[in-house]
Amino acid sequence: MKKFLFITLITFASFSVNAQEESSALSEGSWLVEANTGFGGGDLGNPANTSFSLLSIDGTTLWSVGAEGGYFVIDNLAVKLGLGYNDFDGASSFSYKVGAKYYIASQFPVQLDLVGASGDDVFGDETPLWLGLQGGYAWFVADNISIEPGLRYGLSLNEDFTDEGILEFNIGFALHF
């Protein structure tokens, strides 16, 4: 009986490993479409983001909507682009993101990107720019759908706009094609 259980366990484990290796969700040539929610970012929120967020402080409402897309240039590594629209109590801006996302062991996404924004009514002559670093966990609820909670830190690259970094918790929802 012990031999039977051992052989069954080994067989099941090998099928699980092979099934994960053959998954096309993170393989070269596949696509990624992602929407994120952003929580945090300090008192003013993140003025340059490509996520869905809503923040209201002392009668001032800040909201944003955006999305990101990527292409897997090799297995587990996607090159990404993102766009977003932000509204700061009537003043608006557009955000952009360029970066790369790597899935360690096909489960732990790590992302490095450059995020910026433009909008005369919001920033004046300044152009906010951040270097972003993000890490999390990819929970595949289906072969091509993942929920990816994570932490993100944005390091300010424009001290004339702000010298403060931005720490955010986000939850990403991704479709893999």
108-155 per-position pLDDT tens digit: 999 999 998 887 666 666 778 889 999 999 999 999 999 999 999 989
For residue 131, what are the domain limits?
26-176
At residue 8, does pLDDT exceed 60? no
Q: How far apart are CA 35 and CA 167, in angstroms?
A: 18
Please tell me the total count of domains within the chain. Answer: 1
At residue 81, does pLDDT exceed 70? yes
In a domain, residue 36? The reply is yes
pLDDT at 136: 97
Token pair belonging to 60: 């001032």
In a domain, residue 96? The reply is yes
At residue 16, does pLDDT exceed 50? no
Radius of gyration of the chain (CA): 20
- Residue 42 to residues 3, 75, 153, Cα–Cα distance (Å): 58, 35, 12
Q: How far apart are CA 82 and CA 161, in angstroms?
A: 22
The CATH code of the domain that includes 77 is 2.40.160.20
pLDDT at 65: 92
At residue 6, does pLDDT exceed 80? no
The model's pTM is 0.79
pLDDT at 12: 44
